[in-house]
Structure 1
Amino acid sequence: MFVPRAPNPPLAAALTLLASGFVAGTTLLAKMLGTDTLGPALHPLQVSQGRFIFALMALSIGALVLRPKFANVAWRQHGLRVLFGWGGVTLMFAAAAFIPLSDATAISFLNPVIGMLLAIPLLGEKVGRVRLSAAAIALLGALILLRPTPAAFQPAALLALGAAISLACEIILIKRLSGREGPLQILLVNNMIGVGISSIAALAVWQMPNAAQWAALAGIGVLMAAAQTCFINAISRADASFVSPFWYATLIFAALYDALVFGVLPDTVSILGTAIIVTGAGLLAWREARIKA
């Protein structure tokens, strides 16, 4: 029988921050694949397929070592979780190919606030004034980073908004699953189903990648598997409403990657937005530590 993890909010926060760094890396690679950076652009559906295939390969290696036993698999919830996750990731990859990476990331990462709000009626979690205030502060930072310009409100920006809604729904389903199944079981089932769904969806647009594109697809899969592992373990140790705001750190990592890879240095607005996001997440972590003390 699966024994739920003991609550550990500080560890959950650290794991979520680590996962956010991995997720930002997948978005960066997806943008390279969706443009002509590495060769002829690949369709977002094919990029999403590669993410599931290589993530499953990475997780299967871990399964061969750990040899987990599958028990009480909630296939319906897994199926719904995969549909929302696949849809959110595909929309995010598509948005990153058409609008600036910082804009796409900022819009899509409205999902922590959506996830926190959904956790109230769907998970029965209590969200007090401090949590709501911390989330509002982080949201303000995201809106500052969004820079509401005409370019940010292109039709492609709606793809990122759709990603935010889909990924918020996935957060709720992950939390439900994490209370009854082990992390590795959740990840293996998720990616097995995801390979099937994404492969069918990519059939009509699939094209042969070159060597660099294969490497980038593999990188997306491995990074996403690592991110999922961190996040599943995080959300099994704390409320979804506590973990969700830490996903805003992805915005920080995205700006860092832009500087390192493309030489794009953050301006005053980026620094301000990042500082506000860190303030919101820090307030939430401080409050949780006080409650648990």
Structure 2
Amino acid sequence: MMHTTPQNPPLAAALITMASVFIAATTLLAKALGTDTLGTPLHPLQISHGRFLFAFMVISSAVVLLRFRLQGPQWRLHLGRTSCGWLGITLMFAAVAHIPLADATAIAFLNPVFAMLLAIPLLGERVGRWRWGAAGLALLGAMILLRPSGDSFQPTALLALSAAAVIGLELIFIKKLAGRERPLQVLWFNNALGMVIATVAVLPVWQAPTPMQWGALAALGTLMACAQACFINGMARADASFAAPFSYATLIFASLYDYLGFGVIPDAVTLAGAGAILTGAAVLAWREGRQKPRLPEGTPQAPAFRP
């Protein structure tokens, strides 16, 4: 069954921008938890577990309060989507503990590029010159951010690059899932399955968090749930070519948080690499919006960044 939502571009812009505020805050919390800022650093698997655990609690509360009825899910698509999402988030949390938030966030914007590349063999999509050019420009930006020269090379940035690739694969599952289920149901199953996967994965490395770490984990999961809700509802209320660019604000907020929390100031290399990636992602979103018809609610039409 298809579901439609009234179009409201100003509200869409506000929701996507708010999602960006929340997403950037989750990366800041992940960095604090993955370093010694709040105590003994937690393993990325444990940070990811906290993200899914508390997000699941928040979304389940919304399901109960709204008396939302869950219907028959597309189990294979949900499992594939959630497995990729869990792995992508875990790799991203591992990356932000070692490289500037601006670098990790900019590299994460490559996920629609990887989704485009994967859609060729997996969905049989054809890619024109504009989209190839946008992908090439974005990948060039990633190479700049890796700083592949001498002592400046950032091997841990490869974790963020891997995260973008895995999340790109997740977008393939989301495209197949789009329009088949209501957004709240998609969010609930995503976080429920993610919590199960993360719980099993964290057992070998779990350690007792400090009270401050528990608070940060709870805040991380809550903010991620809010980001997902804002993002999906924002994308449902406007074309991707209009809404997606507002997600680029994530990079601005991530840089601001990194400066306020850790005193990190983006350098010229970060600005150049991020600029190339964002330009490529913007062109890709623009072409996607021009070439494809309006899709049902909950369909991420090649978004620049997906929480």
User: TM-score with structure 1 length normalisation?
Assistant: 0.81
Higher helix share: 1
CA offsets 1:226-258 (integer angstroms, 9 cap, x no match)? 222234345657898998887665434322222
Contact 1:12 1:235 in 2 (8 A): yes
Query: How far apart are the structure 1 equivalents of 2:228 and 2:78?
Result: 14
Question: What is the CA–CA distance in structure 2 between the aligned matches of 1:91 and 1:290, rounded to whole Å?
Answer: 32
Instruction: Specify the alignment match of 1:169 in structure 2.
Output: 169
Q: Give 1:82 shift.
A: 1.1
Q: Tell me, yes or no, if the aligned pair for 1:48 and 1:90 is still in contact at 8 Å.
A: yes
- Residue of structure 2 equivalent to 1:194: 194
Offset, 1:202: 1.1
Name the CA shift for 1:234/1:130 in 2 (closer, same or farther; >3 Å): farther
Percentage identity across paired residues of the two chains:
61
1:255 aligns with 255
Comparing 218-227 with 46-55, greater Cα deviation is found at: 218-227
CA pair 95-267 structure 1, distance change in 2 beyond 3 A = closer
Give the residue type in structure 2 aligned to 1:266. P
Residue 268 of structure 1 aligns with an amino acid whose one-letter code is: A
- What displacement does 1:189 show? 0.7
Decide whether the 8 Å contact of 2:102 with 2:266 is kept in 1. no
Answer whether contact 1:91 1:162 (CA < 8 A) is retained. yes
Q: Is the contact made by 2:110 and 2:281 (CA closer than 8 Å) also made in structure 1?
A: no
* Cα distance in structure 2, aligned partners of 1:285 and 1:213: 37
3-state SS, counterpart of residue 95 of structure 1: helix
Counting only pairs closer than 5 Å after superposition, residues 133-152 of structure 1 correspond to structure 2 as 133-150=133-150
Matched with 1:68 is: 68
**Structure 2 equivalent of residue 213 of structure 1:** 213
129 and 67 in structure 1: CA distance in 2 versus 1, 3 angstrom threshold: farther
> 1 CA distance for matches of 2:124 and 2:14?
24
Q: CA deviation at 1:81?
A: 1.0
**CA shift for structure 1 position 4:** 4.7
Measure the CA separation in 1 of the matches of 2:149 and 2:107: 13
Residue 22 (structure 2) pairs with residue 30 (structure 1) = no
Query: Distance between the aligned counterparts of 2:248 and 2:36, measured in 1?
Result: 28
Q: Which residue of 2 aligns with 1:86?
A: 86
Does residue 269 of the first structure (1) align with residue 263 of the second (2)?
no
Q: Quick one: structure 1 residues 169 and 233, their matched pair in 2 at CA, closer, same or farther if it must change by over 3 Å?
A: farther
The TM-score normalised by the length of structure 2 is 0.78
Q: What one-letter code is carried by the residue in structure 2 that aligns with 1:98?
A: H
Cα distance in structure 1, aligned partners of 2:33 and 2:176: 33
CA distance in 2, matches of 1:110, 1:101: 15
- Counterpart amino acid of 1:112? P
Question: Is the 1:24–1:254 Cα contact (8 Å) retained in structure 2?
Answer: yes
Cα RMSD of the aligned pairs, angstroms, is 3.6
Provide the aligned length of Structure 1 versus Structure 2: 293
Which position in structure 1 is the counterpart of 2:54?
54
User: Distance in 1 between the 2:232 and 2:61 partners?
Assistant: 18
Counterparts of 1:33 and 1:224, CA distance in 2: 15
The answer for unaligned runs of 5 or more in structure 2 is 294-307
Stretch deviating more after TM superposition (19-28 or 38-47): 19-28
Does residue 96 of the first structure (1) align with residue 92 of the second (2)?
no
1:124 Cα deviation (Å)? Answer: 5.0
